[in-house]
Amino acid sequence: MSTVLVTGATGFIGRRLVPALIDAGHEVRAMTRRPEEYDGPGEAVGADVMDADSLRPALEGVDVAIYLVHSLDDPDFERKDADAARNFSAAAAAAGLSQIVYMGGLGEDEDQELSPHLRSRREVEGLLGTDGVPVTVLRAAIVVGHGGISWELTRQLVKNLPAMVVPKWVGTRTQPIAIDDVVRYLAGVVGKQEALDRVFEIGGPETLTYREMLQGVALAMNGRKLPIVVLPLLTPGLSSRWLALVTDVDVTTGRNLIDSMSTEVVVRDTSIRDVVPGEPLTYEESVRRALAERAASGR
């Protein structure tokens, strides 16, 4: 088994991944900027990807690092994420890591219309391997699970609006994936020789439009579909302000997410199943689990 460092250990994915890695027999370091506040499993280590010097002691003795850092809520996120990736690549190489696992975003490489969000994810993929540590990339679209930003956006829209006037991006196809499957795939590629220096696409079994996703959540929450009217002239800027009014997602994050929603993001390559076997959960089941976890949390 390996010593695994998880960046973003207190985040949406990280807080679920740490116990899964421990259950798989790994020794886990949970990296956070405030280790004194960490109350989860594993060994808490303090470090910041923007502070290169702080990474060296955190990575000492580590075999594999799982990189879950993104800055969607910052207007300058592309530059910050690139700088952070350069810092991490250098520190990982200096520490002699055998693998970095990165959670990226789905989207065709030859698509010249990639949003800044997806374009940044691609840049980070390359930068993490700059100093020679093998990188394993898992690319996903929307991750469905309690506490995820994209999921919360969907749930709150359905909860707060009896009907919707929506932009034309609701017709874009995507391939949502359950948080349980994301965790399973991330944990499953750790230390796997056949996963080194490879890019895997991960998704659930269904390709859906955003409209179909909204209607699926409406059925699960309310037992009926929502009236939805498409307004093609609703711009990304207006859309992000609309989202900020009817959900608790801030304008900057909303705009970055919306910019990505005009790009079709579906799985073209299912080779991840050769490395990590198993059938992914359906969208209906992933929605049911997300709503059940929210209910269990008392919210």
**Above 90 in pLDDT, residue 198?**
yes
Q: How far is CA 82 from CA 86, 198, 259, in A?
A: 6, 20, 19
Average confidence score pLDDT of the chain: 88
Write b or e for each residue in 90-124: b if 16 or more Cβ atoms lie within 10 A of its Cβ, otherwise e.
bbbbebebebbbbbbbbbeeeeeebbebbbbbbeb
The CATH class given to the 3-142+178-203+266-278 domain equals alpha beta
pLDDT in tens, 14-53: 999 999 999 999 999 999 999 999 999 999 999 999 999 9
Domain range list for the chain? 3-142+178-203+266-278
Strand partners, 199: 137
Place of tokens 């470090």: 47
pLDDT in tens, 207-221: 999 889 989 999 999
Write b or e for each residue in 40-60: b if 16 or more Cβ atoms lie within 10 A of its Cβ, otherwise e.
bebebbebbbeebebbeebbe
pLDDT in tens, 85-117: 999 999 999 999 999 999 988 877 655 566 666
Percentage of the chain lying above the pLDDT 70 cut? 85
Neighbours of 285 (CB within 10 A): 15
Neighbours of 1 (CB within 10 A): 11
pLDDT band for position 257 (50/70/90)?
Answer: low
- Give backbone dihedrals phi and psi of 144, rounded to 5 degrees, phi first: -95, 115
